[in-house]
Structure 1
Amino acid sequence: MAKFKPRDTERARALRNQVTPVERLLWRSLARGQLGAKFSRQMPVGPYFADFLCRELMLVVEIDGFSHEMRQEVDAVRTRAIEAAGYRIIRFTNADVLGNVEGVARAIQAVVREARSQAHP
């Protein structure tokens, strides 16, 4: 029998309610499977929370703001842990999203297509 691993759903819910304007902007492109995959917001992966996560494709989309520049070592540990859980991470900066949300959405869609083609050759 598989061992149940509790998730911090209360914290995830709180993070979803505290969404940043940049995350809200990108979510408009990711919601409802618009890019060919179902994404969820602020999902727990181990002790961390992914900004956007697609379980089916084991894909995490992270939006890095100013605070990430100040915490590069902490983020590197976080990245290694999420990747060790089997997820691929793609990152964009706040400036990427604010300056070209359509381009960011197209880049994510290309990764989704690539992941699907590798899963179903």
Structure 2
Amino acid sequence: MEQNNFYNKHLKPFARSLRSDATKAGIRLWCEVLSKGKTGYGFLRQRPIGNYIADFMCKELKLIIEVDGYSHNFKTVEDQERDEVLSNLGFTVLRFTDEEVMKDLSNVERTIRAFVADSQV
């Protein structure tokens, strides 16, 4: 078990349940873009960070990727607060909608790969 100042072991059971009940968009992004080091970096799914569970997290890049479903249309303030907390922990948050992942995955992948490339400079 890794020891750091942002991992929240108390959220681990909930994160595990989210992994087994993933959205179609989340599964697609994982399978086609993020799994098995396809970006050159390892990502973890449904990772407890602070009081939140990140959809995807790369510790090495300090990057969190969120895939927002329809319910996030009504959570703008909460998402902004969450992003600010995660930013204060040193993470960059990239957000995509379910629709972007399902209908424009090439653009989503391009955005992620651009972030990865910029991080290597």
Pairwise same-fold verdict (TM > 0.5): yes
* Separation (CA, whole Å) in 2 of partners of 1:19 and 1:3: 26
Which of 31, 49, 53 is residue 53 of structure 2 equivalent to?
A: 49
Residue 16 of structure 1 corresponds to: 19
The number of aligned residues is 116
User: Structure 1 residue 39 and structure 2 residue 43: aligned?
Assistant: yes
Check whether the contact 2:68–2:98 (CA below 8 A) recurs between aligned residues. Answer: yes
After superposition, the CA RMSD in angstroms is 1.7
Deviation at 1:116, TM superposition (A): 1.8
Gaps of 5+ in 1: none
Greater radius of gyration (CA)? 1
Which of 30, 33, 37 is residue 27 of structure 1 equivalent to?
A: 30
Which of 38, 43, 63 is residue 67 of structure 2 equivalent to?
A: 63
SS in 2 for 1:19: coil
* Separation (CA, whole Å) in 2 of partners of 1:6 and 1:86: 16
Q: Percent identity?
A: 34
User: Structure 1 residue 78 and structure 2 residue 85: aligned?
Assistant: no
* Separation (CA, whole Å) in 2 of partners of 1:9 and 1:83: 21
* Separation (CA, whole Å) in 2 of partners of 1:17 and 1:3: 25
Tell me which stretches of 4 or more aligned residues in structure 1 moved more than 4 Å.
2-6
